[in-house]
Amino acid sequence: MRRNMQEVLERWGRWAASEEYCSLVDWPAMSVTPGCKPEAGKPGCSDEDGLAIDTCVAHMSMVRHAEDILILGQRFIGGHTTRFIAEAMDIPRFNVTRSLRSSEEFLEGCLVAMAVRLDMDPVVILPEPLADVQKPVLIF
């Protein structure tokens, strides 16, 4: 079962930006930069989902660099673009996208290892590719 982790993290980011009891860092403080309030009307996640993802982020903070956590927070909670983050941190944009990709993979693996079922799963689960279906062969 694969999840669209960008969608999961965007929903978690909206939840974390509005909640004051997140476990890892002061996420709401990260979201109050000018012009980067969470978009009204977009769905967030439930408290159970938010706490499960926040727990995985806490695990990630134990094994990854603080810079990766900061990039994750700036992207999904602060709502900044990868270009803005790269310029603000004075690092190549490639490093930002690589950090985000590896963070998404780590968090997805953590959720799978903990056997977490999210309330948002019906919306964020990616369809499995059909392995048994053969591709049509054109014969000339």
- Chain segment 33-80, per-residue pLDDT in tens: 544 555 566 778 888 999 899 999 989 989 999 899 999 989 998 889
Q: CA-to-CA distance for 91 and 138, rounded, in angstroms?
A: 48
Question: 28 falls in which pLDDT band (50, 70, 90)?
Answer: very low
Q: Return the pLDDT at 113.
A: 93
Q: Mean pLDDT across the chain, nearest whole number?
A: 82
Q: What is the mean pLDDT of residues 96-102?
A: 96
Both tokens of 11, joined, read 């929903």
**In sequence order, what DSSP letters do the residues of 15-59 get, joined into one string?**
HHHH-S--SSS-HHHHT-STT-PPPTTS----HHHHHHHHHHHHH
Question: 98 falls in which pLDDT band (50, 70, 90)?
Answer: very high
Q: What is the mean pLDDT of residues 22-34?
A: 52
pTM: 0.79
